Structure 1
Amino acid sequence: MGTDDKMSHKVEELGGKAKEVFGAATGDERLEAEGKAQQASANAKQAGEHVKDAAKDAFGK
C-alpha cells in the first residue's frame, strides 16, 4: 500500500470520527451517522489495501 493511500484513508477516517463526535455533541443525528459511514468506508478501503499487500507478499510480486 502506498504511503499516499495510507494517509488519504487515515485522513478520511479521522474526518469521519470528527463528524461523528461533532454530530453527537450537537445532537445532529444525520451528521453523526454520516461520520460513522465515512469511517466505515475508510476502514474498508484500508482493509482492501492490506489484502493487496498480503497478496503481493505471498506471490512475491
Structure 2
Amino acid sequence: MGIADDAQNKADDLKGRAKEAAGAATDNDDLKQEGQADQGLAGAREKVTEAADKAKDGINSLKDKLTGR
C-alpha cells in the first residue's frame, strides 16, 4: 500500500505499546489489554499490507512477462 498506511500502522502500534505500559504501571488490566489489542490490530494490518504488496508485485511481474517487457 503506501507510506501513509505504514505510518498509521506504526502509530497504532506505538499507541498500543503506550497504553499497555500505562496499564501495567497503574495496574489497570483493561487499559493493558486495550493496548495489546491495538498492537495486534496494527500487526494484522501490516501483514495485510505486505500481502497486498506482494500480490501487486506478482501481478505486475506477470503482466511484464505477458507483454514482453
What TM-score do the two structures reach when normalised by structure 1? Answer: 0.95
Q: What is the RMSD computed on CA atoms of the aligned residues?
A: 1.0
Percent identity over the alignment is: 41
Higher RCO (Cα < 8 Å, 6 or more apart): 1
Q: Does 1:42 align with 2:42?
A: yes
Counterpart of 2:28?
Answer: 28
Question: Which AA in structure 2 matches 1:54?
Answer: K
Unaligned runs of 5+ in 2: 64-69
Deviations 1:7-55 (A, max 9, x none): 0111001000000011001100000000000100011001000000000
- By how many angstroms is 1:59 displaced? 1.4
What TM-score do the two structures reach when normalised by structure 2? Answer: 0.84
Unaligned runs of 5+ in 1: none
User: How many corresponding residue pairs?
Assistant: 61
Question: Which AA in structure 2 matches 1:20?
Answer: E
